[in-house]
């Protein structure tokens, strides 16, 4: 898979996508959004890819935000389209039912932070820095932070971060629940891959069903969400993997999941 602004590394049953404009701190331009959209669409259609790790090229940045040079050209009409274009790609990513992990190797600012928010999990190197500095530029976040950050860290911390434009380090991000785990810089990819590889030993239908139900909770009342969970639970009970997983427990052996 050849792209100009991203690198895609294919592993046995998952892929690593690297944002690849290191001289611009991996700032997200339209071409990068188009290429991300393309790879996500390919993943949606490929049943052999069971997870995605997203990271940044170079040692300094995951992504330092939307490309400010492109953004500067926006007016009130094109600005809305600018936001919708990136937002659509982030939503496509967020709605994937295979695990997606942002391995944050440096600055994750503005759209870069929002891209991590569109992943299911965020692992950070000790060097990582997070923030939504848009108000410094006279704008607001346009790729979901007012919504996803608020869901993730709560109203108070989301408002604090967004209206102050403060940048926080990896440990602060972990403390407020923005980051799942922090690792030494050199171990970030190894630890992230180990985590994903462990998840991929589980029943993949169950993993996807769990992601689906948890994501549904963002848009449903508790009563609706519980109803949805029971429906999906029932569907999962109809799979071969469920019979195998429970039988393996009863026979005191490891399950052999087939994804069916
Ligand atoms: N859009 C476009 N280019 C960007 C960028 C962005 N969001 N962030 C960094 N770059 C470019 C810089 O213009 C510079 O390019 P140049 O070498 O051609 O001048 C290059 O990346 C390196 O950045 P630089 O600012 O020199 O690095 P630094 O270490 O001094 O500072 C940051 C790092 C992250 C603090 C700083 O780049 C920054 O504040 N970036 C913008 C963050 C932001 O506001 N994001 C939200 C955008 S909506």
Class of domain 6-199: alpha beta
**DSSP element (H, E) containing 161:** helix 155-164
CA-nearest residue, atom 8 of ligand 1: 64
Residues 129-151: tens digit of each pLDDT? 999 999 999 999 999 999 999 99
- Please name the residues in contact with 69: beta carbons below 8 A apart, sequence gap of 6 or more: none
Task: For a ligand 1 pocket test, name from 20, 22, 24 the mutation site with the most ligand atoms within 8 angstroms of its C-beta.
Answer: 24
* Domain segments of the chain as ranges: 6-199, 204-250
Residues 91-108: tens digit of each pLDDT? 999 999 999 999 999 999
State mean pLDDT over 157-177: 98
**Tokens representing residue 143 in the block:** 């790729």
Residues 247-259: tens digit of each pLDDT? 999 999 999 999 9
| Contact of 118 with 91, CB cutoff 8 Å | yes
The set of protein residues with a Cβ atom below 6 angstroms from ligand 1 is 24-25, 27, 64-69, 71, 107, 109-111, 133-134, 136-137
Atom of ligand 1 nearest to the CA of 60: 29
The whole-model pTM stands at 0.97
Strand blocks (E) in 23-90: 52-56, 61-63
CA-nearest residue, atom 28 of ligand 1: 25
User: Per-residue confidence at 1, pLDDT binned at 50, 70, 90?
Assistant: low
Task: For a ligand 1 pocket test, name from 19, 32, 61, 68 the mutation site with the most ligand atoms within 8 angstroms of its C-beta.
Answer: 68
Q: CATH number for the 204-250 domain, one of 1.20.950, 1.10.12, 1.10.3470, 3.40.1000? A: 1.10.12
Give CA–CA dist 107/117, Å, rounded.
Answer: 14
Per-residue pLDDT at 2: 80
Residues 41-71: tens digit of each pLDDT? 999 999 999 999 999 999 999 999 999 999 9
């Amino acid at each position: 898979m050849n792209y100009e602004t991203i690198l895609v590394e294919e592993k046995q049953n998952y892929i690593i996508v690297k944002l690849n404009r290191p001289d611009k701190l991996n700032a997200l331009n339209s071409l990068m959004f188009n290429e991300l959209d393309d790879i996500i669409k390919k993943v949606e259609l490929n049943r052999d890819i069971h997870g995605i790790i997203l990271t940044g090229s170079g040692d300094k940045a995951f992504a330092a935000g939307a490309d400010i040079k492109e953004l500067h050209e926006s007016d009130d009409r094109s600005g809305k389209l600018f936001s919708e274009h990136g937002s659509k790609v982030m939503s496509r990513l967020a709605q994937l039912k295979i695990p997606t992990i942002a391995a944050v190797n440096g600055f994750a600012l503005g759209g870069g932070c929002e891209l991590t928010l569109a992943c299911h999990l965020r692992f950070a190197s000790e060097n990582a820095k997070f923030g939504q500095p848009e108000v410094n530029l006279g704008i607001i976040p346009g790729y979901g932070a007012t919504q996803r950050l608020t869901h993730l860290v709560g109203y108070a911390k989301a408002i604090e971060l967004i209206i102050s434009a403060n940048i926080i380090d990896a440990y602060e991000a972990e403390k407020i629940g923005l980051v799942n785990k922090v690792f030494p810089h050199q171990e970030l990819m190894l630890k992230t891959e180990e985590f994903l590889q462990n998840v991929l030993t589980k029943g993949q239908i169950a993993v996807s069903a769990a992601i689906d139900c948890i994501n549904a909770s963002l848009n449903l009342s508790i009563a609706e969400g519980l109803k949805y969970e029971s429906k999906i639970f029932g569907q999962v009970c109809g799979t071969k993997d469920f019979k195998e997983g429970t039988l393996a427990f009863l026979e005191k052996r490891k399950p052999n999941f087939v994804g069916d």
